[in-house]
């Protein structure tokens, strides 16, 4: 079965590909020649995930799933939340986003945070949703070279390393996106066993 993952983000694609079974061929937006930006105009992660999946289904007629992820920081009233990718501006610059977050947390004693991912799957004329959450804290400085987004400043609960320092196989087991993807794959395996 061919299944489109509505992303241009190579890091996201790499993470998901390690979790998807061999009977599913994962295609990115680049693979289906979808180069136009898909606006994320909803005010919830669920809304934006569905918006992206619907765009591909409507314009390309392919089964598709899309995710939206937010970093919710307790002492910032769950900001940046749905605006996580654009926190420092529309250019989606991870370094600028992290710098702004670290600045906004400078005098906050509570640095607890959680990542949340919502996946929308469009298949057989219906939409299905899967989510995943991981709790942790925001460090005062960046650590690690791997990962992407806020990974260098997010340390998950129970670990001494950031997402940017942990091996991908460990990150995928505990991360928000990993948990949501496992739910997605379990659903596909249960309901589409012959794919």
- pLDDT in 10s for each residue of the chain, 195 residues: 889 999 988 888 888 888 888 888 999 999 999 998 898 899 999 999 999 999 999 999 999 999 999 999 999 999 999 999 999 998 879 999 999 999 999 999 999 999 999 999 999 999 999 999 999 999 999 999 988 999 999 999 999 999 999 999 999 999 999 999 999 999 988 887 544
Beta strands in the chain (DSSP E): 2-5, 25-27, 64-73, 79-81, 112-123, 126-138, 154-156
Identify the domain containing residue 142 by its residue range: 2-191
Q: 14: helix, coil or strand?
A: helix
pLDDT at residue 193, rounded to an integer: 56
| H/E element, 172 | helix 168-174
CATH number for position 29: 3.90.950.10
Quote the CA–CA distance of 1 and 108 in Å, as a whole number.
48
78 is a catalytic site residue: no
Quote the CA–CA distance of 71 and 78 in Å, as a whole number.
8
How far out from the chain centre does Cα 37 lie?
Answer: 17
Q: Which residues contact 35 (CB under 8 A, 6 or more apart)?
A: 29
How many domains does the chain contain in total? 1
Which of 68, 78, 110, 157 is flagged as catalytic? Answer: 68
Return phi, psi of residue 128, to 5°: -120, 145
Quote the CA–CA distance of 25 and 125 in Å, as a whole number.
20
Which pTM value belongs to this model?
0.93
């Amino acid at each position: 079965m061919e299944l489109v993952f509505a992303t241009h983000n190579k890091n996201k694609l790499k993470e998901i590909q390690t979790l998807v079974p061999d009977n599913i061929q994962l295609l990115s937006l680049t693979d289906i020649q979808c180069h136009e930006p898909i606006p994320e105009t909803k005010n919830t992660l669920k809304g934006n995930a569905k918006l992206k999946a619907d765009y591909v289904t409507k314009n390309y007629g392919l089964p598709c799933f899309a995710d939206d992820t937010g970093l919710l920081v307790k002492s910032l009233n769950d900001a940046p939340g749905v605006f996580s990718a654009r926190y420092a501006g529309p250019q989606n610059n991870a370094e600028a986003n992290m710098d702004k977050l670290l600045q906004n947390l400078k005098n906050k004693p509570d640095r607890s945070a959680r990542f949340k991912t919502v996946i929308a799957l469009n298949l057989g004329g219906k939409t299905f949703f899967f989510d995943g959450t991981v709790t942790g804290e925001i460090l005062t400085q960046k650590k690690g070279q791997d990962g992407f987004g806020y990974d260098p400043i997010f340390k998950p609960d129970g670990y001494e390393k950031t997402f940017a320092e942990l091996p991908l196989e460990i990150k995928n087991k505990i991360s928000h996106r990993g948990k949501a993807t496992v739910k997605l794959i379990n659903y596909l395996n249960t309901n589409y066993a012959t794919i």
